[in-house]
Amino acid sequence: MYLQIIEQIRERVAVGDWARDAEIPSIRQLAVALRVSVITIKRAYFELEREGVIVTHHGKPSRVAEVPNLEKLRGEDLDQHLDRALHIGALLGLSPDELAERLERAAKRRNDEEQA
Amino acid sequence: MTGSAVSLAGVGKDYKHFTLDDVSLELPQGSIMGFIGANGAGKSTTIRILMGLIHQDRGTVRVLDNEMPAGQVAAKREIGYVSDDMRLYPGASIAWHMSFIASIFPSWDAAYAAELVKRFDLTPEPRIKGLSHGQRVKAALLLVLARRPRLLVLDEPTTGLDPIARQEVLGALIEVLADERRTVLFSSQNTMDVEQISDRITFIDRGRIVASDDKENYLDRWRRVRFEIPEGATVSAIPGMLDLRGSGRINVVTVPDFTDATLPLLQATGASVIAVEPMSLEEIFLCTVKNRREGVLA
């Protein structure tokens, strides 16, 4: 469950709902607001601090990091999805080139949808 | 000071057809514990012992710094207890009950009570006997919540509630924890409720504690692993892994104590790992009960 919270917070930081270096809610405040347990938020904050997305100081409010390290995380996330795509591609007997073609077609489709 | 709000050590109780055996658990102040188990597992017996309603044959029970059952009078002033077998007066209204409780407990918070009436979608005037099951449960909870007790002990507070009422109740319980001196212990058969709001999980089966741990740590130890074996190969049971399933090359196994050593152990058998998946509390609960009953898990 804390993984879902981590993802939500990363998104808030990525889109700027939680601005860089801004104060963020206390663990208990966020637990009440999201209706999840204190331990879940505590664990999420702990992991986010390790990733460098937020900074916590004992006895002071936690803040978003001045340079939240989201690009690296997104990169790792993307690599995992690509590995998964390669695995499924292999099951379907697709070569990496054929997969790349599929990716281009998907990008075109998305582009068309956005135009429409 | 943050100590334990509830502390049980080696607690036992013998009945003719049921034994509660060596129950030990710690509930730190400021946290919510979800107490799960099947019907007849010993949840209500444990709760009644810690309330001093029945007396243990063995072991020690401390609740809010009072030895139980001896200190139950002092303890109960600061405990809010709701269980299914508690009855409100059928001929009286919620409003009457509210002023009755307010006259007994000086800590009664009338403004909070009024807010809960609204949030729980209750009307104070009708008599209790005309209310639905869900309305009665919410009324009973309101009567203890508005006293702002240091410890809330709730025996199956969400059983029989519709999804909307369940979320209203869970939301109210989480809000209690905004005050870090207050503590909640609730039992439930609904693992989703426990997974959502608990800090700690205690899991009881057939009168024994199976696990009592930090929720995230507990969930983190369980993983389901999907793996592929070479054409023509077969897999046999791997120590420490449960419920091996699969036909052909794709297999699934449940790992109750997943560590860095787990995957190498699987790979040493020639398997290649496809995915490692987290499990829901419901899945863990079912897997534990099944394997204990088959004698695979201690």
CATH code where residue A49 lies:
1.10.10.10
What is the distance between the alpha carbons of residues B107 and B109, in angstroms, rounded to a whole number? 6
Compute the distance between CA of residue B169 and CA of residue B192 in angstroms, rounded to an integer.
Answer: 14
Chain A environment of B249 (Cβ under 8 Å): none
Above 90 in pLDDT, residue B27? yes
> Residue B2: its pLDDT value, please?
55
Q: How far is Cα B153 from Cα B295, in angstroms, rounded to an integer?
A: 32
- A20 and A52 inside one domain: yes
A83 in the same domain as A50: no
* DSSP characters over B87-134: ---TTSBHHHHHHHHHHH-TT--HHHHHHHHHHTT--SSSBGGGS-HH
Stretch B5-29: mean pLDDT: 94
User: Under an 8 A CB cutoff, do A31 and B219 touch?
Assistant: no
| A53 lies in the same domain as A92 | no
DSSP string for B207-271: TEEEEEEEHHHHHHH-EEEEEE--TT------TT-EEEEEETTEEEEEETT--TTHHHHHHTTT-
Percent of chain B with pLDDT over 90: 65
Residues of chain B with CATH 3.40.50.300: 4-213
Tally of domains within chain A: 2
- The pLDDT tens digits for B30-62 are 999 999 998 889 999 999 999 999 999 999 999
Same domain, A54 and A9: yes
CATH of B4-213, one of 3.30.70.260, 3.90.120.10, 3.40.50.300, 3.30.499.10: 3.40.50.300
Distance from CA of A33 to the nearest CA of B (A): 9
Please say whether the dihedral angle defined by the alpha carbons of residues B88, B89, B92 and B98, taken in this order, is positive or negative.
Answer: negative
Report CB contact under 8 Å: A32, B219.
Answer: no
pLDDT in tens, B184-237: 999 998 899 999 999 999 999 999 999 899 999 999 999 999 998 888 777 777
Write the residue in A2, A38, A87 that is nearest to B31 by C-beta: A38
**Contact between A32 and B180 using a beta-carbon 8 Å cutoff:** no
- Which residue segment(s) compose the domain that A29 sits in? 2-64
- The pLDDT of residue B238 is 79
Give pLDDT tens digits for A33-79: 998 999 999 999 999 999 889 998 877 888 888 877 777 777 888 88
Residue B294 has pLDDT above 90, yes or no: no
- The pLDDT, as a whole number, for residue B1 is 43
Q: Chain A residue with minimal CA distance to B281?
A: A1
CB B60 within 8 A of CB B67: yes
> Average pLDDT over chain A, rounded to whole?
88
User: Chain B contacts of A3, Cβ < 8 Å?
Assistant: 278
Interface test with A, best of B199, B214, B222, B228 (most A CBs within 10 A): B199
Joined together, the tokens standing for residue A12 give 């808030």
